[in-house]
Structure formats: C-alpha cells, structure tokens
Copies of this chain bind each other. A is one copy, B any other.
Amino acid sequence: MGAAAERAKAENEEWAGVTPDAARRLVGAAVQAFAERGYHATTTRDIAGRAGMSPAALYIHYKTKEELLYRISGIGHEKALRIMGAAAEAGGTATERLADAVRTFARWHAEHHTTARVIQYELQALSTEHYAEITGLRRRTDRLLRGIIQDGADGGEFLVDDVPGTTLAVLSLCVDVARWFTADGPRTPDEVGALYADLVLRMVGARVTDKNG
C-alpha cells in the first residue's frame, strides 16, 4: 500500500462515525478542500466534485455548506477533548500527565493536520449558535490542561508563576502545529510530540529526568 493510499485509509477511519458512505465521502472531501483553500474560498461544487458527485447531491446529506463545517468541527473538537481527557485522567504524577497530554495532543495536530487546521482556523465561519457550542468544547479542553498544570504547581512539581497564562501558551503551541506541519517536512508526528513534551516540561519548570536532568 502506497503512502497516498495509507493516508486515504487513515482519513476514512477518522470519519468512520459518519454514515452513510456518501455523507462520509463528502466530509472527507470538505476537510481536504477547507484545509487547502479555506472555508470561504471553497465552493460546494468543489466539495461535491472531490466526493465524486454532482453539486446537488451535497444537499441531500447536509442542509448547508456551513453544516458540513459544523459537523467537522464537532467531531474534531470532540476527538481533541478526548485526547486531553485521557491524559488528564490517567494516573501518575503531574509531570507524567502533562508530558502525555502534550505529546498526544501535539501529535494529533501533526498527524491530522488537515482536520486540525480546519477546526482551529475556520471557526469564525460558523454560525453564532454553532460557534458558541464549539467554544464550549474548547473551554473544556482548556480546563483539563489547566487542571494538570495547577496540580503540578500546587504539589511543588512545577514552578509556574501564571497558571492560566502558561496553560494558554501550551495550548497555543500545540494548536499551531496544525498551521505549519506538512507531511513532507523533516519531522514525523511522533517527533513533534516528543519535542513539544520536552519543551513544555521545561516551560513549567518540571525536573527533567532524562539526559538534560
């Protein structure tokens, strides 16, 4: 299986929850198009074309183009929230949980940079109601990360002056991976995750136990 085929398969699995098949193909096509050109520069004809359909077929599965973006945003942000939740609720020290959170969160933004770019940078195109709903998911993700950092600061593992500010910076750092990451760059998603986990542990003043300790 070639690299392109593998990527297509991974992208298909990402939207496994979307049925029927045509609706899933449309979501995949929309993510690609939105990530490449942006929401407003993408036409419904383009999306339908990529999914192998006529423009009219799109409207059987989605009421509007904005609904497609909303569905993508919802699924993507829920996945991001689950990743952060898994790390926050795992056992271990605050240092271990923070490293795990940043490693998996940053890695996901690299591996799924197409989806991540759409859900992080095209939010403003959502309707007011949908925007508010998605913002709620992001606030929950933020709270989980802040909880880990607060734990570490309270327990003396971390040396942090400004917990909300540091949380914001860490989240910002991970999210922005979606902007610059490309599959043909020099770094794999795993490497990005490892690098970022290391950098963030330094940011919070955690004692690093590897070669830099």
Contact = CB atoms under 8 A, between A and B. Distances in A.
Interface of A: 37-38, 40-41, 121, 124-125, 159, 161-162, 165-166, 168-169, 172-173, 175-177, 179-180, 187, 195-196, 198-199, 202-205, 212
A195 B172 CA distance: 14
Contact of A124 (B38, B165, B195, B202): B38
Copies of this chain, complex-wide, total: 2
A121 B124 contact: no
- Consensus secondary structure, chain A interface: helix
A175 B172 CA distance: 10
A195 B165 contact: yes
A199 B195 contact: no
B172 A180 contact: yes
B172 A41 contact: no
A180 B171 CA distance: 11
Contacts of A165: 187, 195
